[in-house]
A and B are shown apart, each in its own frame.
Chain A
Amino acid sequence: MRHLLRRIGFYLVALWVSVTLNFLIPHLSPGNPAQALMSRLKGKVSPQAQHALEISLGVNHDPLWSQYLQYINNLLHGNLGVSITYLPTPVSQVIGQDLPWTLVLVGVALVISFVVGTVLGIIVVWWRGSFSDVVFTPFFTFLSAIPYFWLALVLLYILGSQLNWFPIHGGYDTDNTVPGFNLDFILSAAQYAILPAITIVIGSIAAWMLGMRNAMVTTLSEDYVMMAEAKGLPSWRVMFTYGARNAILPNITAFALSLGFVVSGSLLTEIVFSYPGIGFAILQAVDNLDYALLQGIFLVITVAVLGANFLADLLYVVLDPRVRIGRS
Chain B
Amino acid sequence: MDHRLIRSSYVIYFNRLDGSVKPWLASSYERSSDATSITFHLRKGVVWSDGQPFTSDDVVFTLGLLKKYSAMDLSSITPFIKTVSAPDANTVQVTLDKPFYPLLWYLGGQTYILPKHVWSSVKGDGSQYADPNPVGTGPYLVKSFTPQLVVLSKNPKFWQPGKPEVTELKIPSFNSNTSAELALQKGQIDWTNLYIPNIQKTYINLDPQHNHYWFPASDIVMLFMPLSKYPFNLLPVRQAISSAIDRSKLDSLGESGYEPPAHPTGLLPYNKDYMVPEYADLKFTQDPAKSEQLLQGAGFTKGSDGIYADKNGKKLSFNLNVVSGYTDWITDCQLMATELKAVGIKVNVNVIAFDAYYNALQNGTYDMALLWTNPGPTPYYLYDALLRSTNSAPIGQPASSNYERWNDTNTDALLNQYASSTDPTVQKQAIIGLEKIMVEQMPSIPLMDEPYWYQYNTSKFVGWPDQQHPFAAPGTATYPDIEYVVLNLHPAD
Asked if the two chains touch in their complex, CB atoms less than 8 Å apart, one says yes
Identify the A interface with B (CB < 8 A). Answer: 29-32, 35-36, 38-39, 41-53, 55-56, 82, 86-88, 94, 97-98, 153, 156, 160-161, 168-171, 174-175, 179, 270-274, 276, 280-281, 283-284, 287, 289
Among B170, B174, B400, contact of A169 (Cβ-Cβ < 8 Å): B174
Segment 112-153 of B: residues with Cβ below 8 Å from A: 125, 127-128, 130-132, 146-149
Among B147, B170, B354, contact of A86 (Cβ-Cβ < 8 Å): B147
User: How distant is the Cα of A39 from the Cα of B401 in the complex, in angstroms?
Assistant: 12
Scoring B residues 294 to 310 as 1 if CB is less than 8 Å from chain A, else 0, what string do you get? 00000000000000000
Scoring B residues 154 to 170 as 1 if CB is less than 8 Å from chain A, else 0, what string do you get? 00000000000000001
Q: A38-B358, A87-B130, A274-B148 are in contact. List 20 more A-B contacts (CB 8 A).
A: A31-B355, A31-B356, A31-B358, A36-B354, A39-B358, A42-B372, A43-B374, A43-B385, A46-B400, A48-B70, A49-B74, A52-B70, A56-B125, A56-B128, A97-B146, A97-B147, A153-B178, A175-B170, A274-B176, A284-B147
Specify the chain A residue showing the minimal Cβ separation from B146: A97
User: How distant is the Cα of A226 from the Cα of B307 in the complex, in angstroms?
Assistant: 79
Given contacts A32-B355, A174-B149, contact A272 B176 (CB under 8 A): yes
Given contacts A31-B354, A94-B147, A97-B146, contact A82 B182 (CB under 8 A): no
User: How distant is the Cα of A169 from the Cα of B148 in the complex, in angstroms?
Assistant: 11
User: How distant is the Cα of A283 from the Cα of B353 in the complex, in angstroms?
Assistant: 15
Asked whether, in the complex, the Cβ of B358 is within 8 Å of the Cβ of A35, the reply is yes
By Cβ-Cβ distance, the 4 closest A-B pairs, closest first, are A31-B355, A52-B71, A88-B130, A276-B148
**B467: interface (CB < 8 Å):** no
Asked whether, in the complex, the Cβ of B127 is within 8 Å of the Cβ of A47, the reply is no
B residues in contact with A175, CB < 8 Å: 170
User: How distant is the Cα of A287 from the Cα of B175 in the complex, in angstroms?
Assistant: 10
Given contacts A168-B186, A273-B179, contact A49 B70 (CB under 8 A): yes
A residues in contact with B73, CB < 8 Å: 49
**B75: interface (CB < 8 Å):** yes
The contact size tier of chain B is 35 or more
Identify the B interface with A (CB < 8 A). Answer: 1, 69-71, 73-76, 125, 127-128, 130-132, 146-149, 170, 172-176, 178-180, 182-183, 185-186, 188, 325, 353-356, 358-359, 372, 374, 385, 398, 400-401
Distance in Å from the Cβ of B390 to the closest Cβ of chain A? 11
18 A-B residue pairs with Cβ-Cβ distance under 8 Å, sorted by A, are A30-B356, A31-B358, A36-B355, A43-B385, A43-B401, A44-B401, A51-B71, A52-B127, A55-B71, A55-B125, A87-B1, A156-B178, A169-B180, A170-B148, A174-B170, A175-B170, A272-B178, A281-B147
Among A44, A98, A179, contact of B75 (Cβ-Cβ < 8 Å): A44
B residues in contact with A97, CB < 8 Å: 146-147
Given contacts A29-B355, A30-B359, A161-B185, contact A46 B178 (CB under 8 A): no
Asked whether, in the complex, the Cβ of B359 is within 8 Å of the Cβ of A31, the reply is yes
User: How distant is the Cα of A267 from the Cα of B106 in the complex, in angstroms?
Assistant: 43
Given contacts A53-B127, A160-B182, contact A280 B175 (CB under 8 A): yes
Asked whether, in the complex, the Cβ of A168 is within 8 Å of the Cβ of B127, the reply is no
A residues in contact with B131, CB < 8 Å: 88
Asked whether, in the complex, the Cβ of A56 is within 8 Å of the Cβ of B353, the reply is no
Distance in Å from the Cβ of B380 to the closest Cβ of chain A? 15
Specify the chain A residue showing the minimal Cβ separation from B358: A35
B residues in contact with A281, CB < 8 Å: 147
User: How distant is the Cα of A29 from the Cα of B359 in the complex, in angstroms?
Assistant: 12
B residues in contact with A55, CB < 8 Å: 71, 125, 128
Asked whether, in the complex, the Cβ of B355 is within 8 Å of the Cβ of A289, the reply is yes
Given contacts A88-B132, A98-B147, contact A156 B182 (CB under 8 A): yes
User: How distant is the Cα of A283 from the Cα of B325 in the complex, in angstroms?
Assistant: 13
Asked whether, in the complex, the Cβ of B175 is within 8 Å of the Cβ of A283, the reply is yes
Q: Looking at B131, B132, B401, which has the most chain A CB atoms within 10 Å of its CB?
A: B401
Asked whether, in the complex, the Cβ of A280 is within 8 Å of the Cβ of B147, the reply is yes
Distance in Å from the Cβ of B118 to the closest Cβ of chain A? 15
Distance in Å from the Cβ of B369 to the closest Cβ of chain A? 13
Distance in Å from the Cβ of A50 to the closest Cβ of chain B? 8
Asked whether, in the complex, the Cβ of A35 is within 8 Å of the Cβ of B69, the reply is no
User: How distant is the Cα of A124 from the Cα of B146 in the complex, in angstroms?
Assistant: 46
User: How distant is the Cα of A54 from the Cα of B73 in the complex, in angstroms?
Assistant: 15
B residues in contact with A47, CB < 8 Å: 398, 400
B residues in contact with A174, CB < 8 Å: 148-149, 170, 172
B residues in contact with A43, CB < 8 Å: 374, 385, 400-401
Given contacts A46-B76, A52-B71, contact A161 B170 (CB under 8 A): no
Distance in Å from the Cβ of B156 to the closest Cβ of chain A? 21
User: How distant is the Cα of A119 from the Cα of B69 in the complex, in angstroms?
Assistant: 66
